[in-house]
Structure 1
Amino acid sequence: MSNTSPYVLVLYYSRNGQTAEMATQIGRGVARVDGMEAKIRTVPPISPDTVASLPPVPETGAPYATSEELANCAGLALGSPTRFGNMAAPLKYFLDSTGDLWLNGKLAGKPGGAFTSTGSLHGGQEATLLTMMLPLLHHGMVLCGLPYSESALSETTTGGTPYGPSHWAGTGAKLPLSAHEKALCQSFGERISRLAQKLAD
């Protein structure tokens, strides 16, 4: 990936891997659009260890995001498991550190949207997606969801909402993404990618 290529930042926190898999599927959708690339990044966990004591690069999965990567993205897909109808603390902690980007309007006018995974089918998916959109609005981003012209949105018996992709992970053995959930993630990535191109023009 060249340093000058426009990209959609797929930024997520994942504890058990489901949200990370959604990020991968969204990245595939982004890559469907010529001239646009996906940059998949995660954030460090919040723990009793200080940031200084944690390794600078995660042992597995995507690299940690930087403020510069967020500032220079053409679009943003923000993902988290649900935590009582809200995003997980590590992602919130990262967003809370972006006041300088807000002050300088670095994200204003760019498309942004959210995706989530829950243990139970009605575990706060829509509430989480809506609350994740609030920081995007404060940054001046143009919100992107999923229209009902996506047939999988009407056919799914697992995850999927007009507010953004969602996944039903189950409370026991973790369920893999369904075909409909994968389709919606990919469509979401493609939609943000196309919006990013149009808004940049």
Structure 2
Amino acid sequence: MKTASANKTRAFRFLAISAVMGMVLACNFPLLRTADPAAAPQDPSSPAVPGLPGATSGNDTALEACLPAVVPGSTTRAQVTAALGEPVQSRQEGGFENLYYPSAVPKMFDVVTLKDQVVVRVVAHHGEKHPLWWSEVLARHGEPVHQAYSDFSQGSRTYSFPEKGLAYIANPELDVVLARWCFPPMGLDAFLAEYGSVLLEEDPFDR
């Protein structure tokens, strides 16, 4: 057991370094480009964000909070700041607002995206102190509805559960989750219509 735990710790450290390197290399998945909100005039983590197309009625088990007390589709800006405090930075773009908060990974930020003062998306990173194991996600949710390649780090994939309002960036070989994305639950067709263009069909590291 100690050996397995040590291996996971080393694996997580390796992935954390790889993730930062991937961000420096300007990964194409806009949902996770949150390393430095002040690095450029245009925020790369703020594409046109969908509202609630094809949304289905969720429940407490379907929506796992990426951040405490923040539920996409219902939590207001005032409730976000009451729960998390004032953000490190906020940025307006195209009718949406991004609120940046320190994450579990140094030099990277968790991001809360709002439209009309209501949360529509949360991106949260997982660090070594409170890791999330991919095997735990599978045990709880079963197999993902959709899979895609990810350029977050080598070996990572994007696993989506759109009807549960969840997507994960994980490395299945090392059993670690790097980041989690929460959004209002929607059907697969609506999810692909909104985000299909940023879900990679080919391995970006196999070129």
How does the TM-score come out when normalised to structure 1?
Answer: 0.29
Higher helix share: 1
How does the TM-score come out when normalised to structure 2?
Answer: 0.28
RCO higher in 1 or 2 (8 Å CA, sep ≥ 6)?
1
